[in-house]
Amino acid sequence: MDAPDVYADQFQVTVNPWGVTLNFQKTSPDPPPQGAMPQSERVATIRTGVAHLKAMIFMMKRQVDTIEKDTGVRADVPTQVLSAMGIGREDWDSFWGTR
């Protein structure tokens, strides 16, 4: 069986003591009506354990750190986007070791 190849520009994470659910969505290419939230479609759901999630986060952070160091290009996330996700700039910088 071939693994699906999908694009996502949104995600939801649900964590509980027994596991993790990662839902990936993509927004509609059509602009929403004035004042409405953009519509999105779920493209994939991944379920895993908390320990596995932590291992994936570690590996992804290490790879991002390496590519940014090797290329000299930093992939930053604007403060407005962090705020929309409930992430303070100081928490972000502490995690990524920046600023």
Q: Kindly state the helix (H) or strand (E) to which residue 61 belongs, with its residue range.
A: helix 50-71
Sign of CA dihedral 55, 56, 61, 67: positive
- Per-residue pLDDT tens digits for 30-43: 888 888 888 899 99
This prediction has a pTM of: 0.78
Q: Which pLDDT score, from 0 to 100, does residue 99 have?
A: 54
The pairing of beta strand 40-48 with beta strand 19-27: antiparallel
Higher-pLDDT residue of 52, 28: 52
pLDDT at 98 over 80: no
Sign of CA dihedral 80, 82, 88, 93: negative
pLDDT at 70 over 70: yes
HSE-CB of 41 using CA atoms within 13 angstroms: 6
Q: What is the mean pLDDT of the chain?
A: 93
